Amino acid sequence: MMRKTICMFLTALMVLGSASCSSGKKKAKVEEGFQPALDTSVKCHIRIAGGYDNFEALETEIDRFNKYYPNVELVYTKVDDYNNMIGTVLNGNDAPDIYVNYSWMYGREQYKASIDHAENLADPALGLDLGCIRKNIILNTENGTLPMVPVFSNTYGMLVNKDLFEKEGLNIPTTYKELVEVCSAFRAKGYKNPMMGFVQKETTSIFSLVNYPYFCGSVANDAEAVKKLNSLDASAGEYMRPTLEKLVQFVNDDCVDLEACKAIENNYDAVILRFFEGDVPMMACSGDTVSGTKKRESRSEAFIAKPFAYAFAPIPVTDEGSYFLDMPNLQFSVNKDSANLAMANEFMRFLITTPELNEMAQNKGLMSPTKDLSFNNMYAEFGAVPESRILSPEVIGLTDDAVIQLRMAGYLVATGEMTIDEAIENYGSFTS
């Protein structure tokens, strides 16, 4: 009887042990996260080329990748005059394995090499998790290939001093009517400049930051309008009228003091440091500018003396709410002629995932290209914009030439150098 009891006990232990091993194996199969697909002892050198002076956020990702592949040396190299030189570099003997690319290069003869050298990253065999990226910022080529994939995204909006809004008992505006009312309320409380921004002719002047999202919204579903605008058809100027009228309204509603804004010398350092003075509730800028805020907190005596909480929010340009103008910022391509193609693709498979893209974007201070923006308090407001109000220039199809016309027309009308009618009549003749 004793022997039988012992045998039954041992059998039970064996069953439990077997179940435990089985459970462990099953768990390993469903384990999430990056799993190396190549020999992790492989030694090779991967060169990544771009135009940034430094790229600490990428270096962090390289360190994380090296935990899986400790013998793979990945080095970032800056190329001077990148946009003009990348074609030459790719055609040279020391071509990079991975390189920065831009959607606007696609279809332009002078940048043909940057597209021709790119591997098709949409190839299912590569295993990239493209589904984690917002689909409207993925380049759609005529032949269905994907020569580049976004690693950062960009948008237009305004830095908001959250402490000032809380102190004065006001809410961050979400409609144009609320924006006007908030500006009026701040002025009544003694704030001379409730809203500021850079007012020169550059792409991210406050005029463009207000104009461009509104304009995209007005032509997003009108393919014929986009076609005429892109061809610089003189008659297409009429499509600018609603946008220019909104811009004039914006100026006349005293949302900004243009004279005060003229003291801001550039759309990056000067914009950030003026905002850090702490007396401006809202500062119009782009995501590129936002990316420079963290490093400049220590350069502002005013901010050091009295730090405050801030975030980036859409500029509400209509009474229906804000637009989220969703644009790729920086994209990576893999050189299909790379001597270490398999490992270059492996690094891309590692990088193009929600955790890694979010990590790199947060380290860089830029908006992530992933579908979930709630992880970053700086950009969380954009994640709350309904899908119906998310606009993609990639999808709409406006060319840079057409956007230049709008930008120049907006500047000239807002500063009183042209009437709306004159700007419309001159569509197609403006140069940047």
What's 95-138 look like in SS3?
CCCEEEECHHHCCCHHHHHHHHCECCCCCHHHCCCHHHECHHHC
Note the pLDDT of residue 372. 85
Residues 105 and 202 in one domain: no
Note the pLDDT of residue 54. 86
- Strand 72-78 vs strand 98-101: parallel, antiparallel, or unpaired? unpaired
Note the pLDDT of residue 32. 66
Helix axes 206-219, 223-230, angle to 10 degrees: 130
Residues 279 and 334 in one domain: no
Residues 247 and 339 in one domain: no
- Give the number of other CB atoms < 10 A from CB of residue 428: 16
Strand order in the sheet with 156-161: 195-196, 282-286, 156-161, 310-313
Residues 171 and 258 in one domain: yes
Residues 219 and 304 in one domain: yes
Rounded distance, CA 393 to CA 45, Å? 36
- Kindly provide the b/e burial profile for residues 175-201, where b requires at least 16 CB atoms within 10 angstroms of the residue's own CB: ebebbbebbeebeeeebebbbbbbbbb
Domain membership flag for residue 302:
yes
User: Consecutive 10-residue runs of the chain (432 residues): their mean pLDDT?
Assistant: 38 37 34 86 97 93 98 97 95 95 91 96 96 92 94 96 98 96 97 94 86 95 96 96 96 93 94 98 96 95 98 95 94 97 98 96 94 89 91 89 94 95 97 83
Residues 220 and 243 in one domain: yes
Residues 280 and 228 in one domain: yes
Residues 116 and 136 in one domain: yes
- Strand 282-286 vs strand 195-196: parallel, antiparallel, or unpaired? parallel
Domain membership flag for residue 17:
no
Give the residue numbers spanning the domain of 230. 156-326+382-425
Note the pLDDT of residue 237. 97
Domain membership flag for residue 286:
yes
Residues 244 and 315 in one domain: yes
Residues 93 and 144 in one domain: yes
Q: To which residue do tokens 């994939």 refer?
A: 149
DSSP of 364-389 = HTSBPSBS--TT-TTTHHHHTS-GGG
Q: Give the chain's largest Cα–Cα span.
A: 106
Domain membership flag for residue 191:
yes
User: How many domains does the chain contain in total?
Assistant: 2
Domain membership flag for residue 31:
no
Residues 185 and 252 in one domain: yes
Q: Are 61 and 75 in contact (CB under 8 A)?
A: no
Residues 222 and 285 in one domain: yes
Domain membership flag for residue 239:
yes
CATH code, 275: 3.40.190.10
Long-range contacts of 87-91 (CB under 8 A, 24+ apart): 87/111, 87/112, 87/113, 87/114, 88/113, 89/49, 90/114, 90/117, 90/335
Domain membership flag for residue 38:
no
Domain membership flag for residue 36:
no
Note the pLDDT of residue 107. 87
Rounded distance, CA 42 to CA 73, Å? 10
Element (H, E) at 333: strand 327-334
* Of the candidates 304, 306, 271, the residue with the CA atom closest to the CA atom of residue 287: 271
